[in-house]
Amino acid sequence: MAFAQIQKHAHWTYTFSKTDVKAGETIDLIFTATLDKDWYLYSSDFDPDLGPMLTSFAFTPNKSFALVGKLKPQNPKTKYEEIWGGNVKFFDDKAVFKQSVKILTANPVIKGSSEYQTCSHTSGLCVPGNDDFEFKGLKVVADAGASTQTLTGSTPAEASTVAAAETTDSTNQETANITIKAGDSSEATGEKIAPKIDLSREDQGADKSLWGFALAAFLSGLVALLTPCVFPIIPMTVSYFTNQTNGKVKALLYGISIVLIYTLIGTVVSRLNGPAFANFLSTHWIPNVLFFAIFFVFGLSFLGLFEIVLPSAFVNKMDAKSDQGGYAGIFFMAFTLVLVSFSCTGPIVGSLLVASAGGAVVKPIIGMAAFSSAFAIPFTLFALFPQWLKSLPKSGGWLNTVKVVLGFLELALALKFLSIADQVYHWHLLDREVYLAFWIVIFSMLGFYLLGKILTPHDSPIERVSVPRILLSIITFTFVIYMLPGMWGAPLKALAGYLPPQSTIDFDLSKRVNTTAAAGSSEVSKKYADLFHLPHDLDGFFEIKEAQAYAKKVNKPVFIDFTGHGCVNCREMEARVWSDPEVLKRLQNDFVIAALYVDDKTELPEADWYTSKYDNKVKKTIGAQNADLQIVKYNNNAQPHYCIVDQEGNLLVAPKNYDLNPAHFVDFLESAKTAYKKL
């Protein structure tokens, strides 16, 4: 009986930002959801193509109001979900959304429906929701410039006349339902609501939090110290402070000045990094191709093709100011260091700023503060303790080696940005095997470089290979060998956040083997096979009646997978449980699979629509009909939800939900087989 329940874990209230308004005035509609303990609700403002169902509100068209701007979630949390390979936004305990509207008439009729998804932190279940909403209790008075009468009791026609001068687009509300959700446009404004693709999910795959990004920035600062533009400057700079009065105080000020200069750069970037800019980064090919070009140029610079330098006149002017002495001179001395070292630090700093360009406002500031702290610490410490200088290794060819290694890494990472644009616009320039081929060649060349088999313009001949270079080359060639099977379809899970999708590969050996071994329903024409695909090359259906008809033909039970595009735990079950050999063997041989997506928005022909007995709503889409089947027939609305039934749809055993133990899933399948044989 634990499986036979309709769940609802978000409880909504609908209020106005104020209850007395004038005709033509703009107010906020406030949607508030109180969430059950240990349940969370996905927000509306992250990549709609990432996976989970975003919260959306569809307004019933009415001349009494007009939407203004976008739906605004109020301070959602952000977390990295590994199964999606990106960041999602969500609410715990309480969720608040605001939508601005212009009130056009008295007695405004503001109602519609919402769609959302709640998931459990503890059980792994996800439950889609669909509620109707209506805002009541608003008192509308005439604009003082038009009339002093109260419009609360007037007819819509009268109120519309009074408010006519206040709006020009109210009639546009008649044309269609207005749905505020990711990727759609507002009928009132024509503006895009949210990005089609979130760049930050690619950039933050390795940095799963702001702390992770700060750590990466700090390590980048340490790496920058080991470049030939910076390392030789350390002893020259430190010697200046050892001969000064108040040298230790000035050394501290010098380090603080370096941090302030870089943090100022991050602050400027953060001011430019508003929602509109992040949306542009996410939705357009231009910034992604531009970032590819930036990384590519930086890579060539590090390899020694040319040097990126600032105008000498500007650098000399700052250097002259540093000679003035005093505390102001210390600041300009730090500024001069930043400028002189730009040819080596510029590509690293630029890469960090690019990586944070689609993130929160604070991210560029944190990144630059962390980078500059690592960059400034050695200068400050050696100035405070000059005797440590004796322990510094001597400058030499190893500095250029660090720079060249960074150049290879910049080239490899540049492809990631080009890949994003390639996937969004379907150019097919960097399909998975082409992308992998580039990485295999780049890292192979890096390995040969570390062994001294390749020299760049600024390298000296290598007579003996040091132990650190040998160890690094071993790691590099191991990585290359790991990537090689990916050319023929190996999943390469460790690189999932960086590679194009598996489906873009032209020759997938594992798929060909599975296809050769599979038999049965693959020869049967199936509905929606162009829209959906089963994992692990399993063969099955995406419409329940077809699955049941085929099950009668082959005398097998039906394995119903109630799933969703936005169900993170469904993907985890497929990756960790369905892939188990014992589970996969049984799914392939003993059952007819029906994967029913409950959140798919594909609208069916009108002849296939029907009105649900459960909520008296017309079910127009594939997802709505599948969700209705799960509720009406199996009295459940959570995903993942697995039902094994006979050819008439009757349960053979109790359904199963989220459980990452493959042995438990094997027992579930075996018990269903036994029950079916008894029939």
Residue 350 near residue 294 (C-beta atoms within 8 A): yes
pLDDT of 639: 84
Which has the minimum average pLDDT: 103-117, 242-256, 364-378, 398-412?
242-256
For the chain, the helix, strand and coil percentages under 3-state DSSP, each to the nearest 5: 50, 20, 35
Closest CA to 469 of 491, 446, 437: 446
Q: What is the rounded average pLDDT of the residues 99-108?
A: 89
Bigger pLDDT: 511 vs 550: 550
Task: State which residues form the domain around 671.
Answer: 518-678
Scanning the structure block, which residue is given the tokens 């231009």?
286
Asked, for residue 464, whether it belongs to a domain, the answer is no
Instruction: Say if residue 187 is in the same domain as residue 216.
Output: no
Averaged over 645-653, what is the pLDDT? 92
Query: In the predicted model, what is the mean pLDDT of the chain?
Result: 76
Q: Which of 145, 179, 194 is the last residue of a domain?
A: 194
**205 and 148 belong to one structural domain:** no
Could you list the beta-strand ranges (E) of 18-109: 20-22, 26-35, 39-42, 56-59, 65-73, 77-81, 86-92, 94-103
H or E element that contains 244:
none
Report the pLDDT averaged over residues 165-193.
35
Same domain, 164 and 211: no
Question: pLDDT-derived band of residue 333, with 50, 70 and 90 as boundaries?
Answer: confident
Is pLDDT larger for residue 661 or for residue 329? 661
Look at residue 134 and tell me whether its pLDDT is greater than 70: yes
202-221 per-residue burial string, b: 16 or more CB within 10 A, e: under 16:
bbbbebeebeebbebbbebb
In which element (H, E) is residue 595 found? Answer: strand 592-597
pLDDT(403) > 50 = yes
- Smallest CA-to-CA distance from 656 within 631, 636, 633 is with 636
Give the pLDDT score at 87: 82
State residue 79's pLDDT score.
83
Please state the domain count of the chain.
3
* 498 located within any domain: no
Query: Strand 558-563 vs strand 641-645: parallel, antiparallel, or unpaired?
Result: antiparallel
Band the pLDDT of 80: cuts 50, 70, 90. confident
Q: Is the pLDDT of residue 278 over 80?
A: no
- Whether 439 and 415 have beta carbons less than 8 Å apart is answered as yes
Alpha-carbon distances of 305 from 251, 401, 456, 458, rounded to whole Å: 36, 14, 9, 9
* Confidence at residue 42, expressed as pLDDT on a 0 to 100 scale: 92
Of the chain, the percentage scoring pLDDT greater than 90 comes to: 27
Residues 170 and 25 reside in one and the same domain: yes
Low-confidence winner among 15-29, 135-149, 402-416, 472-486 (lowest mean pLDDT) = 135-149
Strand partners, 39: 120
DSSP state of 98: E
Within a domain: residue 495? no
Q: Is 189 in the same domain as 249? A: no
Segment 660-678 mean pLDDT: 92
**Is 10 a residue whose pLDDT tops 80?**
yes
Between residues 105 and 557, the one the model is more confident about? 557
More confident residue, 571 or 563: 563
- 127 and 234 both lie in a single domain: no
Nearest to 368 by CA among 200, 227, 214: 214
User: Which is nearest to 146 in space by CA: 108, 102, 105?
Assistant: 105
At 594, which CATH number? 3.40.30.10
pLDDT recorded at residue 474:
96
pLDDT at residue 577 is higher than 80: yes
